[in-house]
Amino acid sequence: MARGPSLSGFLERVGFEDAGSLSPEFGVSARLYETQGRGVPQVFRVEGYPGVSAGNVVASRRLLLEAVGAGSDVEAYRLLAASLRDAAPGEVEGTPGGLSRAEGGLEEVPFARFYEGEGGPYVTSSIFVACSGGACNASIHRLMRLGRWEAVARLVPRHLYHMYREARRRGEDLPVSIVVGVHPAVLLAAASSPPLGVFEVDVARRLAPGLRVVESPLHGNPVPYPFSVLIEARLTGELVEEGPFVDATGTLDRVRRQPLVKVEAVYRLDGEPFHIILPAGMEHANLMGFPREAQIWESVSRVVPRVAAVRLTPASGGWLHAVIALEKNVDGDAKNAIMAAFAAHPSLKHVVVVDTDIDVDDPAQVEWAIATRFQANRDLVVIHGARGSSLDPSAEDSLTSKVGVDATAPLGAGEKFRRARIPGVHRRGPGG
């Protein structure tokens, strides 16, 4: 039977480089870091582990759009918004055949060390699927190995955390099914954080038509198929130290006490690569940031005539800084756009709004717009004491000051704010 949309099929379609054999001790991270700018996925074997692995799968904007079959950012934003709005439960098949049980438990899973100072080896692309009270949730959580049958997961206070807390109030562990190595559209859906009750795997069905969903062998949770590895486990009430871990900003996140994961079984499926995401890399930024870009695009589109582009910048981890290119009806639209962006993505710290002649992917052009079109006394928006992101090491108890910069030219200003051009030359760098 056909497997449907898969990571292996995606890699075959977009192409990849064979990176040979890599050490799990910084060898994988070094290769992914050095090649992430090429825009080509890497396929490799992790020394000491069975099967193949892949990384930098969606480390470029082109690959990200390929994952959802879109031709532009705006088309992808609309598709994601429609998928979140119209997601509906679909068929869940029984447990598939062809699974082999890993008797060595997590010792047969390619956990990796990425940076100096981290607390242990990690899996970074693990999607946790859990169901409770008639609702199911799929979300991405890092997993640090402690032993053959134990690990610790980082839970942020969102839907899986809510399900976990409800289970603990009943004095129960929360059964979870953890999958790694799925079509990248599933990762995008799992990163999108829709309202509780909207199942991210159903969102993924809309993004990747034909995606199959099956019951996990032990817990019967609906998981996307095919996958490379499936871990059946329980989130327990025992809290253990997790971290340090290098998160999206490239800094070491602090040690926290997080739920101990008791592993009950590990299954492998031949023919599907294990997915390894480089923390603080381009792929990490794309998967975190793209769903939030779609939210910002939707929110800002309600207050201005046209939003041409939204970019959560790679240097901010795809999370803290946004650049928005738009068309104004009246002066003041840019400030409304700034407030709409902060409302759409509460972790956002700085927003720069530019005109559509500025390339949001070119930091030099954005800086040029600030240098020539911005005056602090009239174009600066500052908000103190707002909730920010726990990823920002400069925030105090997640409270931050937010800054919006209106770097758009005044309407009707004519040639005064226009960049000079050379006929037949597409300029790059300062001034675009």
Residues facing 159 on adjacent strands: none
The answer to whether the beta carbons of residues 12 and 234 sit under 8 Å apart is no
Burial tier of 237 (Cβ tally within 10 Å: 0-12, 13-18, 19+): middle
Dihedrals phi, psi of 43, to nearest 5 degrees: -120, 135
Q: DSSP string spanning 12-42?
A: HHH--EEEEEE-TBTHHHHHHHHHGGG---E
Q: Can you tell me the distance from the alpha carbon of 46 to that of 109, in angstroms, rounded to the nearest whole number?
A: 10
Please enumerate in sequence order all residues whose Cβ is within 8 A of that of 270, keeping only pairs 6 or more positions apart, or say none: 51, 98, 100
Pull the structure tokens for residue 92.
């869940």
Q: Can you tell me the distance from the alpha carbon of 213 to that of 138, in angstroms, rounded to the nearest whole number?
A: 12
Pull the structure tokens for residue 258.
């997080």
C-alpha angle 142-148-154 in degrees, rounded to nearest 5: 20
Token look-up 């009707």 returns 412
The answer to whether the beta carbons of residues 332 and 291 sit under 8 Å apart is no
Active site residue 247: yes
The answer to whether the beta carbons of residues 281 and 247 sit under 8 Å apart is no
Catalytic choice (73, 202, 247, 406):
247
C-alpha angle 56-59-60 in degrees, rounded to nearest 5: 145
C-alpha angle 36-38-44 in degrees, rounded to nearest 5: 60
Give the active site residues: 247
